[in-house]
């Protein structure tokens, strides 16, 4: 026996085709499905919408959807069925405490995500991090070439920088009340540290330990004085 709901849908599709000559059967079915969603207060599917990333929060996901759709955050929340009202920020703050069933259904309809993915956007995180998830994210960044592992072939930033600074200036304490042009002898010779790093990659900031080691070598670190012997 034919499902009564299916018969009703087929009748609606035929009526839609008669009212809109020239459209295909697939287009008529899609239009009827979209109309049914609207009647049920569910948003239509957003074309090309991304799915949530692991551990992603709702506010971050809304921003990604807005960027994908080329709209502002408030409009993205409307497309997602999140009912931003007059304040998208206030609505996101309220949703951060958990999603009700209607909101979950709206996200599923608009994006195709699973209800579990929708609820995970506001699920409180465990106190202890998921080490497996952290490891997966770390390996992804290394595989993408954003970072390089330590080991053979890499410059020792701390030691080399300390050596270069010591060879240039020796051990001295810089008086804070002198003009800049009196701090160094003429002519001024800057230190150039050629670190082994891909030219197309973003250079990382030097670790604080590097500056501590350089300061100790120069005699300007804590516990040193102007009487400290000059480093050769």
Based on C-alpha coordinates, what's the Rg of the chain? 31
Cis amide linkage into residue 73, ω under 30° from 0: no
Residue 95 has pLDDT above 60, yes or no: yes
List C-alpha distances in Å: 47 to 50, 66, 72, 112. Answer: 9, 12, 16, 11
- Tens of pLDDT, residues 8-18: 888 888 998 89
Where are the chain's structural domains? 4-39, 41-147, 157-218
Mean per-residue pLDDT, 70-95: 94
In this predicted structure, which of 34-43, 48-57, 167-176, 199-208 has the lowest mean pLDDT?
167-176
Do the Cβ atoms of 80 and 107 come closer than 8 Å?
yes
For 112-162, what is each residue's pLDDT tens digit? 999 999 999 998 876 666 677 777 777 777 777 766 666 555 555 556 666
In order of 27, 91, 96, 126, the CA distances from 123 in angstroms are 38, 16, 8, 9
Q: What is the mean pLDDT of residues 48-72?
A: 94
Give the ranges where 20-99 is alpha helix by DSSP (H).
25-39, 58-69, 73-79, 88-95
CB neighbour list of residue 50: distance below 8 Å, 6 or more residues apart = 64, 65, 68, 111
Whether 111 has a pLDDT exceeding 80, the answer reads yes
- The pLDDT of residue 126 is 63
pLDDT band at 179 (very low <50, low <70, confident <90, very high): low
């Amino acid at each position: 026996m034919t499902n009564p709901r299916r018969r009703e849908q087929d009748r609606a599709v035929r009526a839609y085709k008669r009212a809109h000559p020239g459209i295909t059967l697939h287009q008529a079915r899609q239009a009827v499905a979209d109309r049914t969603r609207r009647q049920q207060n569910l948003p239509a599917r957003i074309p090309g919408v991304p799915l949530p990333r692991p551990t992603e929060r709702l506010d971050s996901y809304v921003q990604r959807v807005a960027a994908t759709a080329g709209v502002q955050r408030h409009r993205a929340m409307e497309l997602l069925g999140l009912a931003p009202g007059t304040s998208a920020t206030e609505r996101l703050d309220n949703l951060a405490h958990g999603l009700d069933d209607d909101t979950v259904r709206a996200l599923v309809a608009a994006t195709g995500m699973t209800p579990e993915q929708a609820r995970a956007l506001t699920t409180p995180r465990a106190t202890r991090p998921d080490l497996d998830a952290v490891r997966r994210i770390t390996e992804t960044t290394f595989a993408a070439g954003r970072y390089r592992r330590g080991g053979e072939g890499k410059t020792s930033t701390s030691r080399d920088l300390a050596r270069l600074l010591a060879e240039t200036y020796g051990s001295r304490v810089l008086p804070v009340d002198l003009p800049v042009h009196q701090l160094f002898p003429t002519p001024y010779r800057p230190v150039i540290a050629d670190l082994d790093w891909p030219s197309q990659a973003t250079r990382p900031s030097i670790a604080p330990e590097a500056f501590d080691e350089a300061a100790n070598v120069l005699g300007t670190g804590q516990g040193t004085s102007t009487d400290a012997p000059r480093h050769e």
